[in-house]
Structure 1
Amino acid sequence: MSKILTITLNPAVDISTSVERVVAGPKLRCATPRVDAGGGGINISRATQILGGSSTAFVATAGRTGATLLCLLEELGVTVLPFDGPGETRQSIMITDDSTEAQYRFVLPGPVWAKEETARALSEIKEAAPKYRYIVLSGSMPPGTPDDIVSTLADIANNAGAKLLVDTSGAALKQTVSAPKHKPYLVRLNQREAENVSGRSLVNERDYIAFAADRVAAGVANVIIVGRGRDGSVLVSKDECLTCTAAEVAIKSRTGAGDSFLAALTLSLSRGEPHAIAFQWGVAAASSALTTDATALCTKASTERLRAECDIARI
């Protein structure tokens, strides 16, 4: 049985394509599109499978787009716990301008959830939680869900003897890193999110370490990770402070790097490996994802190869 449950409450069918040049006005003839099941938790389940592990994906879907998403996951062989959500599952579109290699990402809004739908989803997650050691919540939260939903999920995970890992955004992230009633095991942020939360510019590695240490001391989570792009990442817990450099790679697409990171890290932790090793695997997988096209995630071969180039240091 899988030790990992991923949660995607606001998934999307991701469509990626390219054009010779993005200009306003005329019809732009696109290349053959790539269609993927998207959303943070889904991407983590996909990347976990790519890396040789397994997970179960709790996915909220609705309407015809939701049916398409479930078909895509079935084709990939991802084990799914489907949740019948409201409205219509959203879509996102990524277009690459071949003349500049710039990527344009358009994300359509997801359906609005009522209190009853949130309660029903939480009830189903609570029922499933005792079967797993690690529960990963990733991606944006649907409109209408309460800002403190992470705290509620942390309580569910803690009572089930599981560890909740979180990579979210918006109001849910802001609430999580302020003063949650129930703290998750781990929270990951990127540079922009860390600066928004702190309310100031974070210039160097020391600033990010101090930010993460403050949040750990405030009881936000046992572990705080901040991804810093090309500058690597920092991991801070009560007992340790780690930095890890990113591998030097030619970047094709930044999409999926964070999800690949969390997939590799969680898979490593589920195998009993310590934070330092799991952290290094995460940075290697993120580096790998940068080398793949469009919405493709990491690859196992390049993650294993790049790991040696991701240097861990204890501060």
Structure 2
Amino acid sequence: MKKIVTLTANPALDIYSEVEKVEPEVKMRSESPKKDPGGGGVNISRVLHRLGQPNKAIYTCGGFTGDIFAKLLDDEHINHEPFTVKNDLRQNFGVFENSTGELYRFGFPGAELEESEATALLEKLEKSLDDTDFLVASGSLPPGAGTNFYAKVARIAQEKKVKFILDTSGKALAEGLEQGAYLVKPNLDELQDLTGQKAETEEHRKEMLQKILDNYPVEVVVHSLGPGGAFLATKNGIKHFPAPKVKASSSIGAGDSMVAGIVYSLANKKSLEEAVLFGLACGSATLISPGTELLKKEDAERLYKELRETQKQLSK
């Protein structure tokens, strides 16, 4: 079985609650809070575990919030390897307004990662990649990590001959791609940042995806379109895949679930096309889950089956 490692440099303890109505200057009575371990790579590991795929999550962890975070991962039986840092693990907050169905999300910055800690984290990662097939680095970077942090991760993956999957944004994404990756999953904002262009039409997006393939050492670009599905771009061309039609409950963790579905499929020797379809199914399965709850495996498999039938009809 293929070995997968995820890396989360800036995890977050996600806190979620519900109120009837969000109002200024009013003490709003909310439901009991729900706490979940979050952050890109950690969420990917949690989804992979739900899909039955063994993996290991490496992440920074400090302070009392870090203790709570690690305990929550233990409760889910996640194979995790925390890297202890001096500062507290950050928190994120989400509140659902029952009267309107709107979700409000507040993301706090991570505490600063000292230079010595960033170096030691990379050393720990390198030692953890023996016999690894896929390394998935996902999420934002904490202050102090440096925008070239993922470029350093990419070099380690290359030295270890590991397929590197990167899902981040801004300068960290651009510098990581300059070093190289097997697969990246930019959304619209990230695609525009990478190319310095505005995506005004579908054809324009395809041109921008081709520009990424031409300008960076990357093999696969999966461009997520939200409800519009995704584009798969490789040297063999660019193909569009529709997303399943679902009634969204919460977008929290949907993008991470898509990445998890893709790497799960690739680790189980599925084609890139099948991987994108299953990634879309996993993202949509999380969309229909309330609050910070991630997907249920049976929902992902059902939606994947529907997507495959749709693809068969479109190919006729």
Query: Normalization by structure 2: what TM-score?
Result: 0.94
1:210 counterpart residue number? 207
1:112 corresponds to: 112
The CA deviation at 1:274 is 1.3
Whole-angstrom distance in 2 between the partners of 1:22 and 1:129: 46
SS, match of residue 293 in structure 2: coil
In 2, the alpha carbon distance for the partners of 1:98 and 1:197 equals 37
Note if contact 1:13-1:37 (Cα within 8 Å) is conserved in structure 2.
yes
Partner of 2:230: 233
1:119 counterpart letter in structure 2:
T
- Residue 2 (structure 1) shift: 6.1
Tell me the equivalent position of 1:189: 186
Judge conservation of contact 2:253–2:292 (CA < 8 Å) in 1: yes
Q: Deviations over 1:262-299 (max 9, x none)?
A: 00100110111111111111011111111011111122
1:116-169, CA deviations, whole angstroms, 9 ceiling, x for partnerless residues? Answer: 111100011011112310000011011111212222111111111211101112
Distance in 2 separating the partners of 1:216 and 1:150 = 18
Query: What code does the residue aligned with 1:63 have?
Result: G
Deviation at 1:199, TM superposition (A): 3.1
Mapped to 2, the partners of 1:298 and 1:243 lie a distance apart of 23
Distance apart, 1:233 and its partner CA: 0.4
* TM-score for both structures, normalised by structure 1: 0.95
C-alpha deviation, 1:197, in angstroms? 2.9
TM-superposed CA distance for 1:59, in Å, is 1.2
Tell me if the contact between 1:208 and 1:234 (Cα under 8 Å) persists in the aligned partners.
no
Quote the Cα distance in structure 2 between the aligned partners of 1:263 and 1:250. Answer: 21
Moved over 4 A (4+): 311-314
Residue 292 of structure 1 corresponds to which residue in structure 2? 289
Unpaired segments ≥5 residues, structure 2: none
**Amino acid across the alignment from 1:45:** S
Query: 240-249 vs 302-311, which deviates more?
Result: 302-311
Shift of 1:86: 2.9
CA RMSD of aligned residues (A): 1.6
Aligned match of 1:250 in 223, 233, 247? 247
Matched positions, count: 311
Summarize deviations over 1:206-250 as a string: whole Å, max 9, x none: 222221111011124111111001111011111232221000000
**Superposed counterparts of 1:7-18, under 5 Å:** 7-18=7-18
Query: Is 1:275–2:262 an aligned residue pair?
Result: no
8 A Cα contact 1:217 1:238, kept in partner = no
Partner letter of residue 102 of structure 2?
A: A
> Contact conserved, 2:281 with 2:304, CA < 8 A, in 1?
yes
Instruction: State the match for 2:103 in structure 1.
Output: 103
> SS at the partner of 1:131?
coil
Secondary structure of 1:309's counterpart equals helix
Query: Matches of 2:32 and 2:219 in 1, distance apart?
Result: 45
Letter in 1 for 2:269: G
Distance 2:40 2:51 in 1: 16
Q: C-alpha separation between the residues in 1 aligned to 2:196 and 2:229? A: 22
| 1:247 aligned counterpart, secondary structure | coil
What is residue 40 of structure 2 aligned with on the other side? Answer: 40
What is the aligned partner in structure 2 of residue 21 from structure 1? 21
Point out where structure 1 has 5 or more consecutive residues left out of the alignment: none
- Per the TM alignment, residue 68 of structure 1 is displaced from its structure 2 partner at its CA by 0.5
Find out whether 1:221 has 2:223 as its counterpart.
Answer: no
User: Structure 1 CA distance, aligned partners of 2:217 and 2:2?
Assistant: 27
Moved more, 13-22 or 218-227: 218-227
Once residues 244 and 201 of structure 2 are traced to their aligned partners in structure 1, the CA distance between those partners, rounded to angstroms, is 18
